[in-house]
Structure 1
Amino acid sequence: MSSSSESPSDTATLDSGVSSVKPDCAESLDENVLPKVEELELSLSDIKSEVAADALPISPTEPVRVRRARGRPRIHPQRSPTTSSSAKARSKTGCITCRKRKKKCDETKPFCQSCKKNNIHCEGYKPVELWKSGKEREAEARRASLDVKYELPPLMEGVENDVDRILLQHFVTRASCVLSLDGNHSNNPFTKILLPMALKHEGLMHSVLCLSASHFCSVNPSREHQERQAYHRGRALHLLHHDLERQKAGGDGGNIIFEDHNVAQILVHLLNTICEGSTDGEYRMHLQAAKKIVMSQKSKNGDFQCLIDEFVYYHWIASEVTSLEGTEIRMMDDFNLPFTLNPETAGMIGVSDGLFGFMSKISGLRRRIRQRIDTGQEPAMDYEAFHAAHAIDTGLRSWQCPQTPGTPRYTISMLYRQAAWVYLYRTTKESKPHPYISTAVDNGIRYIKELPAEGWIQSNVLLPLFLIGCAAFEEQQRVEVERAFQGLMACTGLGNIASAKEVVEEVWRLMDRGDPDSWDWEKIINARGWDFLAT
């Protein structure tokens, strides 16, 4: 078409123009170099359509809305460009060590192999926590708040836990009753005098609890109570030693003035050997210390001094019945002890009524006769021994019981009188059956049967029962003695009863063989390596 073609005149004009320019550019351009003009190839896809007038923004700040092409729906929220679909979450079930070290754990139970290979201590795995609902967690929190409680401090020094409180109650209701003749707690010297002192002194309280634990274990053995017994014993001896060292350092010229609570500790430790049934002579150490205190000082507390005098003299004289050692306690001519006690309030029969004065005289007579036999002196019963035996026999026959007739105290006092005469007969006569000794043993058994089976009265029966048992030649008498021993063990629970019974049975075997030495049970006890109190 004409519109798209060029005219000859135009071409001529162009040629003339070009030719006219050539001479001017000849100096700067090479004649052989011509500029190249490249044609542009356009496609329809490169041409953008104009925005429609009605799609223009209302305001300059409003973004241009571009219609999206049809296809897959939009993903909301959009994925982060850095998140890979193949990434995995870190495991929380590895062992504690690997998690701390931020190392991969192979989760081998109970200890992982990774720690083992690296020679590292594996701390194991956290316990699996079960999922719980909000109500369950709330209920647990409520229960935890209700379970919170604060322990109360001890009310009394030395009484540290529930077991100790049980032991203290046992001492008040049971143990103290079998250690004294008074079953009334208001008059019992161990609860009336000793216990108030223990409330003020920790060492004495430990001693009391040790004694109570010993008695408790003799009745009902328990490992828990045995452990508490050992604990209280150690604490009591430690505190006693500390007090004595302090008093010795502050004393005048090394003389120790023992305080009342320290003296009470010595008495309680002596009783502890009786409850335990100790046969190694441990009681003798405590008894010697108590004897020294009685002879050298007096307490300002009159009631406590009476308890000390009665307690020490009772066990001092009773120890001579079962031991080769001993010296006669100097008495007045009427066989009274060197102190005064009210028989109605005395805690131990035999001391307040003067019967133990006869016991001490008989023990001295036995030592004299034994010495003459061992040295081969004839006769064993010389004039002096005969005179002493006659004086003791006369004193026992004229003795008047200070107790009210018909009461248990009267019965047990008469039992001690009977046992003292049996003791004298077995000391001065040959060891063979005789109607006199048979009658005396029968009467002693009758007194024992008349006594009520209560701990407070049975606590004083062992010594006369031992003496009467060592004189039981007849089978029926032995049956009654064995029954009395069994009842005594069931009633009081003292550990030394079994040892006394075993010695009596050995005396019976010697009697049956006609052994003349069956009268000397002290030697039998010594031959066994024993040393104990029959109280």
Structure 2
Amino acid sequence: MSSASDSPLTTPNFDSNTFNTSGTQPEECLNGRAESSEIVPKVEETELQLADVKEEPFAHDTPISPTEPVRIRRARGRPRIHPPRSPATLAKQAKARSKTGCTTCRKRKKKCDETKPFCLSCQKNNIHCEGYKPVELWKSGKERAAESRKRSIDTKFELPPLMEGVDNDLDRDLLQHFASRASAVLSLHGDKSSNPFTKILLPMALQHEGLMHSVLCLSASHMYSVTPSQEYEDRQAFHRGKALQLLHHDIERQKAGEGGVMVFEDSNVAQILLHLLHSICVGDTDGEYRMHMIAAKKIAMSQKSKDPEFQSLFEEFFYYHWIASQITSLDGTEVPMMEDFNLPFKISPETAGLIGVSDGLFGFISKISNLRRRLRARIDAKEEPTLDYEALISAHAIDKGLRGWVCPHPPGSPRYTISMLYRQATWVYLYRTTKDSKPHPFIKSAVDDGIRYIKELPAEGWVQSNVLLPLFLIGCAAFEEEQRVEINRAFDGLIACTGLGNIGHAKEVVDEIWVCMEEDPLESWDWEKKINARGWDFLAT
């Protein structure tokens, strides 16, 4: 064996010859020297084998005898490990560097306990936990390419609205409903080409967003009356809000542009007209229609449209509802008209959208309303006689005018029948205004004839749009039980055909008048007061 100074230190093998050639370990090695000089190397995360440690020469070490224990001086720093790490160590390190923690902990570089949906670590530290990123599964390039192609095929770009105000499929349905159904309910014209709402108002609405919202609001209110739905109610409120907002904006702009002088554009006038009709459709009893009526009245008295067709449409519908409002309200203003009971404008009966205005019957109705207010004032003041000389002369002139009235429509047509129904209802209105409220053969005969006219009308179709007003007047004069059965049937048919919300309110008033006829006939004379006592103000049109 060579000495330690002549050759480098070699790593001994741990076999039986290392400690003792005879196979036994000396006693002194087990006791004093082992305890005093043995250095145990630190074991790292993986178990070290002596063969893994790189040899380094130590020239100053003393020779080691075969019987001495091996002492290995550990180099500074961590030992270099050449073999791959064990699976246990790799698992430990992967867990320590987890990428599945919550977003907040990962940003803060803190350990996350990965509690779902929000980690406890963030909650304990009173920190908002942003949750976890979705797990992304690895996909091959082929799979990603297939998904990309599928997305390109499934991509659907929404088309922009064709018309301002018509934003979605429901709005398109409402526009179609207005053109095909609601417009027919509001006019005598069943043919879309001659209906003033589809012929005049719809083309205007295509050029004016506010008017389009008004059209859709009216259509939604009619749809809701026919088929109650939260969807229709919400859309009606939306379009109504937008229409009023744009109308207010237009009015303010026109004031500024005309130096304070208000001149309404045709589209704004049409909006006012549609809002008036909307109050009828929803069955409003709060008198909301009055603000639109006041605005329409101001327009009718101060300006004319450059479009003669639109001007005729506006005047007819405005005067019709203005005069009709006097039948169900205590608040009435005398309507200006000509001496021959005609209104201060002319409309051809063939092109008229409503019965009573073009043929002069509404002139008689307005005169009766004025007479009725005069008699009510005398009754309230307890003046006798109630029907004084001036009132008697006025009633006689109205009766004479009705008897000489000639229907402008050919006999046998629906327009002729409904015109005769209006004439009959106008005479019943005159009788109920000037005569005692009690059964009489004259009023019984007049009501029976009115019921016959109603039964002759088509049960469905455009002609039913004008039935409510005469039906209300005849119903308030039905003293006989068999007459009331027919009136009830007519009301039911009218609700089913038109779906207008004000029909039910008119029927409730008629029912109350019938009760008064049985209990106190004199009280059944003044249905306007009974409507007012309910807190109602509505149009029976």
Q: 2:186 aligned to 158, 179, 197, which one? A: 179
Which amino acid is the alignment partner of residue 220 of structure 1? T
Q: Percent identity?
A: 74
Counterparts of 1:287 and 1:220 in 2: how far apart (Å)? 28
Task: Report the secondary structure of 1:433's partner residue.
Answer: coil
> Cα offset for 1:247?
1.4
Q: 1:157 aligned to 144, 161, 164, which one? A: 164
Counterparts of 1:504 and 1:303 in 2: how far apart (Å)? 37
From the superposition, tell whether residues 335 and 136 of structure 1 become closer, same or farther in structure 2 (CA, over 3 Å): same
| Cα shift readout 1:416-451 (whole Å, capped 9, x = no counterpart) | 000001101111111111111111111111111111
Counterparts of 1:258 and 1:166 in 2: how far apart (Å)? 30
Q: Are 1:476 and 2:482 an aligned pair?
A: yes
> Cα offset for 1:522?
0.5
Mean Cα displacement is larger for which, 179-188 or 94-103?
94-103
Q: Are 1:272 and 2:253 an aligned pair?
A: no
Which amino acid is the alignment partner of residue 336 of structure 1? N
Task: Report the secondary structure of 2:466's partner residue.
Answer: coil
- What is aligned with 2:48? none
On the 8 A contact 1:416/1:464 being kept in 2, the answer is: yes
Counterparts of 1:223 and 1:138 in 2: how far apart (Å)? 45
- What is aligned with 1:97? 104
Task: Report the secondary structure of 1:500's partner residue.
Answer: helix
Counterparts of 2:495 and 2:411 in 1: how far apart (Å)? 27
Where do residues 77-476 of structure 1 align in structure 2 (5 Å cutoff)? 81=82, 84-85=85-86, 86-87=89-90, 88-89=93-94, 90-129=97-136, 139-252=146-259, 254-476=260-482
Counterparts of 2:253 and 2:223 in 1: how far apart (Å)? 33
On the 8 A contact 1:419/1:467 being kept in 2, the answer is: yes
Counterparts of 1:320 and 1:455 in 2: how far apart (Å)? 27
Counterparts of 2:84 and 2:109 in 1: how far apart (Å)? 22
- What is aligned with 1:19? none
Which amino acid is the alignment partner of residue 105 of structure 1? C
> Cα offset for 1:380?
0.5
Which amino acid is the alignment partner of residue 82 of structure 2? P
On the 8 A contact 1:465/1:481 being kept in 2, the answer is: yes
Counterparts of 1:201 and 1:392 in 2: how far apart (Å)? 44
From the superposition, tell whether residues 96 and 506 of structure 1 become closer, same or farther in structure 2 (CA, over 3 Å): same
| Cα shift readout 1:12-61 (whole Å, capped 9, x = no counterpart) | xxxxxxxxxxxxxxxxxxxxxxxxxxx9769xx99xxxxxxxxxxxxxxx
> Cα offset for 1:132?
6.4
From the superposition, tell whether residues 391 and 41 of structure 1 become closer, same or farther in structure 2 (CA, over 3 Å): closer
Which amino acid is the alignment partner of residue 441 of structure 2? P
| Cα shift readout 1:323-360 (whole Å, capped 9, x = no counterpart) | 11112223323211111111011000000010001101
Structure showing greater radius of gyration is: 1
> Cα offset for 1:134?
6.9
Counterparts of 1:532 and 1:270 in 2: how far apart (Å)? 11
Mean Cα displacement is larger for which, 216-225 or 355-364?
216-225
Task: Report the secondary structure of 1:174's partner residue.
Answer: helix
Task: Report the secondary structure of 1:342's partner residue.
Answer: coil
Counterparts of 1:348 and 1:362 in 2: how far apart (Å)? 20
Counterparts of 1:439 and 1:497 in 2: how far apart (Å)? 25
- What is aligned with 2:503? 497
From the superposition, tell whether residues 326 and 138 of structure 1 become closer, same or farther in structure 2 (CA, over 3 Å): same
Counterparts of 2:147 and 2:302 in 1: how far apart (Å)? 68
> Cα offset for 1:499?
0.7
> What is the aligned-residue RMSD (CA, Å)?
2.3
TM-score (norm 1): 0.83
Mean Cα displacement is larger for which, 158-167 or 114-123?
114-123
- What is aligned with 2:58? none
Task: Report the secondary structure of 2:382's partner residue.
Answer: coil
Counterparts of 2:385 and 2:217 in 1: how far apart (Å)? 50
| Cα shift readout 1:93-151 (whole Å, capped 9, x = no counterpart) | 32222233333222223322222233322222334456767776555433322221222
Counterparts of 1:202 and 1:228 in 2: how far apart (Å)? 16
From the superposition, tell whether residues 434 and 134 of structure 1 become closer, same or farther in structure 2 (CA, over 3 Å): farther
- What is aligned with 1:525? 531
| Cα shift readout 1:489-524 (whole Å, capped 9, x = no counterpart) | 111111111111111111111111033020110000
Which amino acid is the alignment partner of residue 236 of structure 1? A
Task: Report the secondary structure of 1:531's partner residue.
Answer: coil
Counterparts of 2:285 and 2:231 in 1: how far apart (Å)? 24
From the superposition, tell whether residues 454 and 106 of structure 1 become closer, same or farther in structure 2 (CA, over 3 Å): same
From the superposition, tell whether residues 271 and 440 of structure 1 become closer, same or farther in structure 2 (CA, over 3 Å): same
Which amino acid is the alignment partner of residue 309 of structure 2? D
Where do residues 67-86 of structure 1 align in structure 2 (5 Å cutoff)? 81=82, 84-85=85-86, 86=89
From the superposition, tell whether residues 130 and 505 of structure 1 become closer, same or farther in structure 2 (CA, over 3 Å): farther
Mean Cα displacement is larger for which, 196-205 or 105-114?
105-114
Question: Which ranges of structure 2 fall in alignment gaps of 5 or more residues?
Answer: 9-50, 52-79
| Cα shift readout 1:454-498 (whole Å, capped 9, x = no counterpart) | 341111000000000001111111111111111111111111111
Counterparts of 2:148 and 2:2 in 1: how far apart (Å)? 83
Task: Report the secondary structure of 1:348's partner residue.
Answer: coil
Counterparts of 1:504 and 1:108 in 2: how far apart (Å)? 70
On the 8 A contact 1:177/1:183 being kept in 2, the answer is: yes
From the superposition, tell whether residues 501 and 136 of structure 1 become closer, same or farther in structure 2 (CA, over 3 Å): farther
Counterparts of 1:431 and 1:372 in 2: how far apart (Å)? 16
TM-score (norm 2): 0.82
- What is aligned with 2:67? none
Mean Cα displacement is larger for which, 419-428 or 333-342?
333-342
On the 8 A contact 1:432/1:514 being kept in 2, the answer is: no
On the 8 A contact 1:189/1:307 being kept in 2, the answer is: yes
Counterparts of 2:166 and 2:540 in 1: how far apart (Å)? 31
